[in-house]
Amino acid sequence: MSDYFAHETAVIDDGCFIGKETKIWHFSHIMPNCVIGEKCNIGQNVVVSPGVVLGKNVKVQNNVSIYTGVICEDDVFLGPSMVFTNVINPRSAIIRKDEYQQTIVKKGASIGANATIICGNNIGEYALIGAGAVVTKAIKPYALVVGNPSKQIGWVSEYGHRLYFDQFGKAVCKESQQVYLLKDDFVTKIS
């Protein structure tokens, strides 16, 4: 008996590691050599390609494709129908499996519905990528990013609330009361 739940329609290939209390829902395919951490939730019709690594408590909504080369750290949220790429210039007639690029989504980041992450562009801790955004460059920690191509329009807290900085470069999250510092176009949590 396994320590995780998989719906009867899910396909889980040999050679995967799936952590305790993870749930894998209808019609999802977990391919060989994946690592899926504890307490993850893999929605319906999700593809997790060979070698993908998902940390603990990663939430993957319906219709998401996570391709080889992607690493998601703990507490990442992947919104419905968002997609990663792993080759910059794909062609049907040219095999480029040796050109896969790595993309790392850092702890606590959230990627909105229908967003596309172009390979090789890492997403910083607790960044928030808006629905439909097309990420074409690396994203800073705590950045709020929207549009196609994506553009940073502000900063968010670990709780996902927009941060408004005072003249001293400090902001307080309205939910957690955590304090953040903006210095040299980089945000850090200070309490």
Question: What does the block give as tokens for 10?
Answer: 């899910």
Q: Nearest Cα to 55, choosing from 41, 28, 34, 36?
A: 36
Q: How does pLDDT run across 74-115, given as a tens digit for each residue? A: 999 999 999 999 999 999 999 998 999 999 999 999 999 999
Contact of 139 with 127, CB cutoff 8 Å: yes
Domains with residue ranges and CATH for the chain:
1-89+97-156 (2.160.10.10), 160-191 (no CATH)
User: Residue 98 gets which letter from DSSP?
Assistant: G
The answer to whether 102 and 71 have CB atoms below 8 angstroms apart is yes
Q: Which tokens is 128 given? A: 């928030």
Residue-wise pLDDT tens digits, 7-16: 999 999 999 9
* Per-residue pLDDT tens digits for 115-130: 999 999 999 999 999 9
pLDDT computed for residue 2 by the predictor: 81
Paired tokens of 80: 């419905």
pLDDT of residue 1: 62
